[in-house]
Amino acid sequence: MKYTTQMDAAKKGIVTKEMKCVAEKEGMDIETLRILVSQGKIAIPANKNHKSLEANGVGQGLKTKINVNLGISKDAYDIDKEMEKVKVALDMNAEAIMDLSNYGKTAEFRKKLVNESKAMIGTVPIYDAVGFYDKELRDITVDEFFKVVEKHAEDGVDFVTIHAGLNKETVETFKRNKRLTHIVSRGGSLLFAWMELNNKENPFYEYFDRLLDICEKYDLTLSLGDACRPGCINDSTDASQIKELMILGELTKRAWDRNVQVIIEGPGHMAINEIEANMILEKRLCHGAPFYVLGPIVTDVAPGYDHITSAIGGAIAATYGADFLCYVTPAEHLRLPNLDDMKEGIIAAKIAAHAADIAKGVKNAEKWDYKMSKARQSLEWNKMFELALDDERPRKYRKESTPHHNDSCTMCGKMCSMRNMNKILSGKDINLLREDD
């Protein structure tokens, strides 16, 4: 039986090779997975032209996934450096990479990325439009916007961020309800500017079915972007954000009717006490579609440390329903991240994702921690390093400060609680002061 998309296959009772791959990775019953894909509660972004992909699922009951942003820009144009980041991100098991390139040979970089990446690839086509056509934003036509989307789809990207919820109604809501930081989404601000300069409706909203034609053709997952996400905690959970979310919920149903998979993008900057309610609201208004959050960054006063502020918010968000975390690096708001920034961002996001998976009761999440605790109790240092989310730093710290006794560290020495409890419980003397053991 033929099918057009993963959702179409799932509705027809067909189990695809991508579904089998996800079910095996997650330890989920394949029929349960198929049903959730058919309902839109799990998305498996898998463009028909992405031949190197090792499929991952995003959504209900699955491990929380993370995304890594990278790409070339006019101020930082080095394809080789970005490809080095890609290799490291893949080595660190990032499930998704978003190419946010907006200048120069974007197609060359994108094709290379798709060809070499086992992770799912996302893009924001509107970033590419100005450079692709070498035209000012206001002069880009509706047809040209859609041609860029189709080019990205043809090149094999698995999901695209499209800010289709920023329609004229949302814009009027935004204008009536003043914000401190306005519209901070780069793609959203560009669409807003195009709409204002041309006095026209958002083409991706007005011609949404045309967008769905492209998605259906390539099995391109639609990541419905949050143009009105809050850019500071002062603007969170306001009228603009909620208005757009309501529109995204309506568009989600239209996409599912065409068997197009959907992911909803969310906030943003947000105080900790608002996160749980926002997750519940998104799942309710968008009918259980997978939720992809950008942070949330829980305070605005820590530039240089926003990998930490976002990990705090990400852990809470994922605990209460977010399925996909966009990493944030220490360089957020400051510059293009370098390789070390990227590593810090990936580790922080992975910590947040795993912490939430434990809270959500995701299958086998606690087993990893149990094994680490067992290795600590047994003082098996190499086993601890093997189990570590990142083994490089703990090995480095251990090597930099070698203890006199190998069954301890230089913090506690022979007063190590693990060491002493093991000895006492096995009927041995503790021996704190004598040199002999």
Annotated binding site for substrate: 69, 98, 127, 163, 185-187, 226-229, 265, 292
**Could you give the CA distance from residue 40 to residue 36 in angstroms, rounded to a whole number?**
6
Annotated binding residues for Zn(2+): 269, 333
**Could you give the CA distance from residue 61 to residue 73 in angstroms, rounded to a whole number?**
37
Structure tokens, 415: 């007063």
Structure tokens, 347: 């580790």
Please, are residues 149 and 125 in contact by the beta-carbon 8 Å criterion?
yes
Bond prior to 268 in cis (omega within 30° of 0): yes
Structure tokens, 196: 């204002």
Annotated binding residues for [4Fe-4S] cluster: 409, 412, 416
Please, are residues 245 and 285 in contact by the beta-carbon 8 Å criterion?
yes
Annotated binding residues: 69, 98, 127, 163, 185-187, 226-229, 265, 269, 292, 333, 409, 412, 416
